């Protein structure tokens, strides 16, 4: 039976002591009344809901999976999912960060991300239903007409209706310029959509009264490629009435053609959606649909990154619990529990290596992703134009890093933690093999991690000549200058400064190579993203170490063990995990020839 204890102590540490988020929110009129008590209460109640409601149905939901009725084209979620969703709605969690004018609570995105983390730790399959609804809400908030906002946003914010994103088709995945779904204009201003979409998460289910699909399609006269894609809102049931009083009307002409038999996330319905003259309404401008959908896609990429964080935390907690209890062998330095036939495996160095890897990536990922969420709040709500621009730049730069680095780490840590359990990790009863299976999709959907790496090096760094990256580098440099003379901080500041210099040189070198041959960027992309990910983690681990050192000095003999543990994990990260960058810098510099010279027919 899997366990989960909400990491509320570390969440409070990151939000209050490292990020100083409450003070940041005082400068934003929308969030000026958000104080530490509100933050702590949200974290506490969210943790209880996830641990007490979502965790108990995670393994059962995985075993049962979703069921599809081909006669009615209906999908039933696993037992307990609807009851959990009803409780979720009743507690108003769906609209946590939604605008108050549409029935939301208007709280910061940072708290939304903290909620996401705990949901994904306890039940990733279930959490995807409300998570996609948040994305649909945000897309319509930015690009919907007033009538569309008034109609759909209150329903999405309350969770009465759920949302999806319908992009992928059988013949095209990431290359959306190839999509074929058609949208025919009608005299009343609506459109009739026809086509097939696949891999649609939460595309059909029995949790809510209606499902609001956001669908990419082509107009009859649309230009080829991505410049000819429009976005449409296509509800499962056509709404009757307006705004808050809207009800579900006639069934629209779209249906689920089947659900996928998948490796993991069995509790989420991954659907084939058939549009057979379905009625839809355009969102935004003609042929500008991909740009509009990027609001939802980028939000989903951040959420998927946090899925990686949630898996990492869950895997760590369960592996630690097992390692403390499982006795096997003796410590190489002498028996630690001589009254027992063997020592608990947590005494063994290699077991500790695996556990500390997961802990360092979880705590580093928490600080990094929470900071990115804070930048989202600044981008949207800070009154200062410079702060909004900085937030927007950091969101653009860091989205592919959060998505790819955290999910790569999550899968690695899930497999390492399975290794801690040995054979007991490979069987279903302990829940670890489910975490491994669920973690694997996170590296694939919402743009594979290879695509994220190309996006980072190509669009987010080289396209603006490194301007956004230099802004983040300035934060790193400022921290180095402020703490570089501290003897206690030397073990953290020196490697951080060294990596910052190496990133600058590597970026310039790759930019020059890519100017002559674009394959150079492609060949270096994955390694480059790992290096940037570590730069981010090193920066936040150094910040966390500084806070811990300060508290240890101030508290003296009464120091909270939390801070001594934080320093120990920081040292492990800098000495054991950060050196990975040396390999990736060398690999990125090795050039494109070693991956491109072999003719395709010889593979």
The whole-angstrom separation of Cα 97 and Cα 377 is 10
**Locate tokens 């860091």: which residue?**
398
Closest CA to 254 of 300, 294, 200: 200
Burial of residue 114 (CB within 10 Å: 0-12, 13-18, 19+) is buried
d(CA 92, CA 157): 9
Tell me how far apart the alpha carbons of residues 593 and 532 are, in angstroms, rounded to a whole number. 23
Is there a contact between 234 and 184 (Cβ–Cβ < 8 Å)? no
Residue 159 · residue 86 · CB < 8 Å:
no
CA distance 152 to 575: 51
Give the residue numbers annotated as catalytic, written as ranges. Answer: 446
Number of Cβ within 10 Å of residue 429's Cβ equals: 10
Cβ-proximal residues to 328 (8 Å cutoff; 6+ apart), any chain: 342, 343, 345
Distance CA 400, CA 407 (A): 11
Kindly report the backbone phi and psi dihedral angles of residue 466, in degrees, each rounded to the nearest multiple of 5, phi listed first. Answer: 80, 15
Q: Which of 124, 36, 122, 53 is nearest to 87 (CA)?
A: 53
Q: What is the 3-state secondary structure (H, E, C) of 534-571?
A: HHHHHHHHHHHHHHHHHHHHHHHHHCCHHHHHHHHHHH
Measure Cα distances from 260 to 66, 267, 341, 442 in Å: 10, 11, 48, 16
Query: Residues near 86 by Cβ (< 8 Å), separated by ≥ 6?
Result: none
- Comparing C-alpha atoms, which of 135, 123, 119 is closest to residue 78? 123
Beta strands 270-283 and 230-235 are antiparallel
* Token duo for residue 233: 């809102």
Exposure string of 307-336, with b = 16+ CB inside 10 Å and e = fewer, is: bbbbbbbbbbbbbbebbeebeeebbeeeee
Q: Where are the alpha helices (DSSP H) in 422-518?
A: 423-426, 432-441, 449-454, 467-483, 490-516
CA-closest candidate to residue 349, choices 362, 336, 365: 336
With 0-12 / 13-18 / 19 or more C-beta atoms within 10 angstroms meaning exposed / middle / buried, residue 89 is: middle
Alpha helix stretches (DSSP H) within 81-108: 81-90
CB 275 within 8 A of CB 181: yes
């Amino acid at each position: 039976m899997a366990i989960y204890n909400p990491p509320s102590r570390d969440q409070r540490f990151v939000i209050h002591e490292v990020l100083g988020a409450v003070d940041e929110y005082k400068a934003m009129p929308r969030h000026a009344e958000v104080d530490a008590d509100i933050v702590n209460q949200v974290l506490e109640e969210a943790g209880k809901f996830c641990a007490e409601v979502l965790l108990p149905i995670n393994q059962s939901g995985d075993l049962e999976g979703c069921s599809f009725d081909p006669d009615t084209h209906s999908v039933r979620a696993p037992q307990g999912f609807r009851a959990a969703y009803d409780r979720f709605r009743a507690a108003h969690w769906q609209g946590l960060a939604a605008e108050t004018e549409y029935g939301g609570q208007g709280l910061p995105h940072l708290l939304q991300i903290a909620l996401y983390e705990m949901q994904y730790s306890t039940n990733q399959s279930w959490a995807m239903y409300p998570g996609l609804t948040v994305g649909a809400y945000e897309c319509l908030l930015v690009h919907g007409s007033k009538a569309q906002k008034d109609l759909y946003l209150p329903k999405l914010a309350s969770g009465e209706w759920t949302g999806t994103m319908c992009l992928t088709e059988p013949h095209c995945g990431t290359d959306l310029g190839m999509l074929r779904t058609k949208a025919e204009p009608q005299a009343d201003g609506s459109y009739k959509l026809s086509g097939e979409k696949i891999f649609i998460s939460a595309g059909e289910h029995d949790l809510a009264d209606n499902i609001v699909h956001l669908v990419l399609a082509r107009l009859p006269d649309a230009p080829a490629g991505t410049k000819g894609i429009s976005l449409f809102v296509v509800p499962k049931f056509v709404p009757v009435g307006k705004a808050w009083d809207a009800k579900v009307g006639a069934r629209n002409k779209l249906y689920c053609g089947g659900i996928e038999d998948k490796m993991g996330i069995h509790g989420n319905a991954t659907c084939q959606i058939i549009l057979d003259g379905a009625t839809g309404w355009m969102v935004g401008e003609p042929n500008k649909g991909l740009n509009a959908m990027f609001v939802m896609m980028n939000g989903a990429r951040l959420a998927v990154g946090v899925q990686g964080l949630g898996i990492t935390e869950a895997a760590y907690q369960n592996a630690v619990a097992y390692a403390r209890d499982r006795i096997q062998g003796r410590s190489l330095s002498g028996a630690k529990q001589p009254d027992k036939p063997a020592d608990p495996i947590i005494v063994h160095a290699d077991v500790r290596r695996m556990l500390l890897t997961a802990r360092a990536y979880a705590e580093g990922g928490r600080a990094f992703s929470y900071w990115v969420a804070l930048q989202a709040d600044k981008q949207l709500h800070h009154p200062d134009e410079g702060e909004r621009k900085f937030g927007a730049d950091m969101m653009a730069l860091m989205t592919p890093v959060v998505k790819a680095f955290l999910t790569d780490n999550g899968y690695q840590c899930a497999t390492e933690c399975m290794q801690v359990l040995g054979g007991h990790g490979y069987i279903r009863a302990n829940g670890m093999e489910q975490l491994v299976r669920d973690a694997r999709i996170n590296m694939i959907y919402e743009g594979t991690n290879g695509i994220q790496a190309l996006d980072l090096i190509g669009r987010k760094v080289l396209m603006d000549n490194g301007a956004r990256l230099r802004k983040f580098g300035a934060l790193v440099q400022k921290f180095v200058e402020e703490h570089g003379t501290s003897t206690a901080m030397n073990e953290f500041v020196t490697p951080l400064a060294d990596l910052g210099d190496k990133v600058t040189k590597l970026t310039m070198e790759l930019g020059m190579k890519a100017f002559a041959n674009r394959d150079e960027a492609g060949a270096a992309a994955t390694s480059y993203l790992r290096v940037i990910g570590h730069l981010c983690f090193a920066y936040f681990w150094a910040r966390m170490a500084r806070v811990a050192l300060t508290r240890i000095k101030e508290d003296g003999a009464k120091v909270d063990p939390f801070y001594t543990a934080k320093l120990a994990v920081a040292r492990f990260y800098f000495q054991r995990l950060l050196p990975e960058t040396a390999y990736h810098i060398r690999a990125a510099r090795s050039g494109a020839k070693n991956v491109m010279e072999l003719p395709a027919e010889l593979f």
